Structure 1
Amino acid sequence: MPWFLYMLECADGSVYTGIAIDVAARFAQHASGTGARYTRSRKPVQVLAQFEFADRARASSAEYWVKRLTPREKRALAAGVRTLESVLPPPPPPPPETAAEAAPETAAPE
């Protein structure tokens, strides 16, 4: 089941970032005052952007990095001026090959 990172514009001009399975339902919770404490006093106005991830762990990791952006950087990300890949750390390099994997197979003499 996919998870989404979403960014909301709030009435005070701030940008809230969160994760959810259903962004529309989560926005409704924020709008009704039953979402995060942050949005209870800053009333969300609209969903600025949402990004799909394969699982909760990846969405949560992306949320960690996006929350560290300035409001201007978050708006650039939401507008497509910045890519999500430019915000996230690069993926770890693949593990080095072991000697057994690197050696070509040889045929036994007949």
Structure 2
Amino acid sequence: MAGYVYIVTNQRYGTLYVGVTNDIARRAHEHRHGMVGEFSRRYRTARLVWYEVHSTMPLAIEREKRLKRWKRRWKFDLIEAMNPDWNDLFDELNR
């Protein structure tokens, strides 16, 4: 089963949430509609700005743990390499 590591935010250079899921479209929908944990609801991290696909969930979880230890600047650089304008990628997933 594939796994996805993703980053959602409330605004450009704002609060970041790094997560992992087996269904990125569903999880992005949950973030957009506040159907997530307390942290994401409190900080309104609803804009999907980066994601990465892994062949298995254990690999995705390992990557998520590493990213959570990264400095904010490194995460910004990662986002901007894929999505320089910090666009919400939700619509891209649902084409």
Q: Common fold, TM-score beyond 0.5?
A: yes
User: 2:20 matched to 1:19?
Assistant: yes
Matched with 2:9 is 9
Q: Aligned equivalents of 2:28 and 2:37: distance in 1?
A: 10
Q: Cα distance, 1:18 vs. partner?
A: 0.3
Q: Cα distance, 1:79 vs. partner?
A: 1.6
Conserved? CA contact 2:31–2:46, under 8 Å: no
Conserved? CA contact 2:15–2:45, under 8 Å: no
Matched with 1:49 is 50
Q: Aligned equivalents of 2:20 and 2:60: distance in 1?
A: 6
> TM-score normalised to the size of structure 2?
0.75
- The gaps in structure 2 that reach 5 residues or longer are 83-95
Structure showing greater relative contact order (alpha-carbon pairs closer than 8 Å, 6 or more residues apart): 2
Q: Aligned equivalents of 1:25 and 1:37: distance in 2?
A: 18
Matched with 2:34 is 33
Spell out structure 1 runs of 4+ moving beyond 6 A. none
The aligned amino acid for 1:8 is: V
The aligned amino acid for 2:68 is: K
Conserved? CA contact 2:2–2:22, under 8 Å: yes
> TM-score normalised to the size of structure 1?
0.65
User: 2:59 matched to 1:58?
Assistant: yes
Secondary structure of 1:67 counterpart = helix
Secondary structure of 2:69 counterpart = coil
Computing the radius of gyration from Cα coordinates, the structure with the larger value is: 1
CA separation of 1:16 and 1:64: change in aligned 2, threshold 3 A: same
Matched with 1:72 is 73
